[in-house]
Amino acid sequence: MKKIIQIFGNWSANQVEILRQYGIVTEEGCNSIFIEEEKLSENVYSLLKEWRVMLAKGVEFSKKEILQSEYCIIDSCNSFGYPKPDGDFGYRELTYLMTNYCETCGISKIQKDAFRISKISKA
């Protein structure tokens, strides 16, 4: 198991250069960096806090670890905002046959109609 930190920022040229000095490669502008927690030095962590970037922690398991685990739950992520960003998932009844739908894992939806979009994203 690896402990992973996702770091998201709107990186300036100066920040990119500083990170590069610590062996962390990114590009100027908005993007994410994934780094193993143990490889993140205290100096870099302090800089990230100072720059007020977003940090998210997670774990990554090898295929072998997953196959050898006593219990394994794979939880799919649902998308938010589209096709209709009303927050109540009302589009599902209009778009899918829900007879065999599982609320826990989100499988067994059969599409019966086209998606409806309330408004187009402003990218």
- Structural contact between residues 48 and 56, judged by C-beta atoms closer than 8 angstroms: no
pLDDT of 23 over the 70 cut: yes
- The whole-number pLDDT of residue 54 equals 92
Same domain, residue pair 39 and 91 = no
Per cent of the chain over pLDDT 70 is: 82
Structural domain of 108: 79-118
Q: Which of 62, 26, 27, 24 is nearest to 40 (CA)?
A: 24
First-to-last alpha carbon distance for the chain, in angstroms, is 36
* Domain presence at residue 73: no
**Distance (Å, rounded) from C-alpha 118 to C-alpha 43?**
46
Same domain, residue pair 83 and 29 = no
Q: Which pLDDT band, with edges at 50, 70 and 90, does 33 fall under?
A: very high
The domain tally of the chain equals: 2
The tokens of 91 are what?
A: 């589009």
93-117 pLDDT tens trace: 888 888 888 877 777 888 888 877 7
**Distance (Å, rounded) from C-alpha 37 to C-alpha 7?**
11
61-96 pLDDT tens trace: 999 998 999 988 776 555 554 555 566 677 778 888
Across the chain, mean pLDDT equals 83
- Structural contact between residues 55 and 48, judged by C-beta atoms closer than 8 angstroms: yes
- The whole-number pLDDT of residue 119 equals 66
